[in-house]
């Protein structure tokens, strides 16, 4: 999925967070967004996901404006993902359950994505009892189970152990290669962005520039 941003401005009260005249996220690539705190990185992800409707300008997805149908192909993973007070399996399966997918298909897909994330042993654990690294892996599994065309990640490896970080990076690279899903990931880890992203975009303080480095 290609995203074109055209004259997008976002403000809170009288303070402008950012102003982006024109920028495109190319389809099928992993894009890393870096920048100082307060430059609007998370806010931009929220706009792209459709959960933040209050802004000026246009965002086009494959040359179309956001629709309810299109939004079903977009997953936004926040920095502190919410876990339901249920098992890991039930948390991962939930997006398919509410889409009324047959139970057998749900089980097959949940097992496959848990294998991908190397968390099969957590399937029957209560998701609210997990470590930070385990929670992030479960949240990513839940995000991937619907096979999104656009995956938006807000600091997906913040405050987790190095082993979990590398697993998540590897999964994202493999998923991108296999599906050509467009991935946009906010990170403060520049070395990580260089390691697993195809492009790195920097949001400058004041929000007047978005430029590739």
Running DSSP on this structure, what letter comes out for residue 64? B
From first to last of its 213 residues, the chain has per-residue pLDDT tens of 999 999 999 988 888 888 888 899 999 999 999 988 888 899 999 999 999 989 999 999 999 999 989 999 999 999 889 999 999 999 999 999 999 999 999 999 999 999 999 999 999 999 999 998 899 999 999 999 999 999 999 998 888 888 888 888 999 999 999 999 999 999 988 888 888 899 999 887 655 456 565
Q: Give CA–CA dist 65/70, Å, rounded.
A: 9
Q: Give CA–CA dist 31/23, Å, rounded.
A: 13
Q: Give CA–CA dist 49/38, Å, rounded.
A: 19
Give how many domains the chain has, as a whole number: 1
Q: At what angle do helices 162-179 and 132-144 cross, to 10 degrees?
A: 10
pTM: 0.91
User: What CATH number does residue 155 fall under?
Assistant: 3.40.50.300
Running DSSP on this structure, what letter comes out for residue 120? G
Closest CA to 77 of 211, 163, 171: 171
First to last CA, the chain: 22
Q: Give CA–CA dist 206/3, Å, rounded.
A: 22
What is the extent of the structural domain holding 172?
A: 3-212
Q: At what angle do helices 88-97 and 132-144 cross, to 10 degrees?
A: 20
**CA distances, 5 to each of 37, 39, 132, 151, 210 (Å):** 21, 17, 33, 17, 11
Which pLDDT score, from 0 to 100, does residue 83 have? 96
């Amino acid at each position: 999925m290609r995203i074109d941003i055209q004259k997008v401005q976002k403000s809170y009260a009288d303070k402008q967070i950012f102003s982006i005249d024109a920028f495109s996220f190319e389809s099928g690539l992993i894009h890393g967004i870096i920048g100082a705190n307060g430059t609007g990185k998370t806010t931009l992800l929220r706009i792209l996901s459709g959960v933040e409707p209050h802004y000026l300008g246009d965002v086009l997805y494959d040359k179309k404006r956001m629709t309810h149908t299109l939004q079903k192909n977009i997953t936004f993973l926040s920095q502190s993902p919410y876990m339901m007070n249920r098992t890991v399996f039930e948390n991962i399966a939930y997006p398919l359950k509410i889409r009324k997918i047959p139970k057998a298909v749900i089980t097959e897909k949940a097992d496959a994505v848990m294998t991908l994330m190397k968390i099969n042993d957590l399937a029957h654990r209560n998701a609210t009892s997990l470590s930070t690294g385990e929670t992030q892996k479960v949240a990513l599994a839940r995000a991937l189970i619907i096979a999104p065309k656009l995956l938006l990640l807000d600091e997906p490896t913040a405050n987790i152990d190095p082993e979990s970080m590398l697993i998540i990076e590897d999964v994202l690279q493999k998923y991108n290669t296999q599906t050509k899903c467009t991935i946009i990931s906010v990170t403060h880890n520049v070395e990580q962005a260089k390691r697993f992203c195809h492009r790195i975009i920097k949001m400058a303080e004041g929000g007047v520039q978005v430029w590739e480095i």
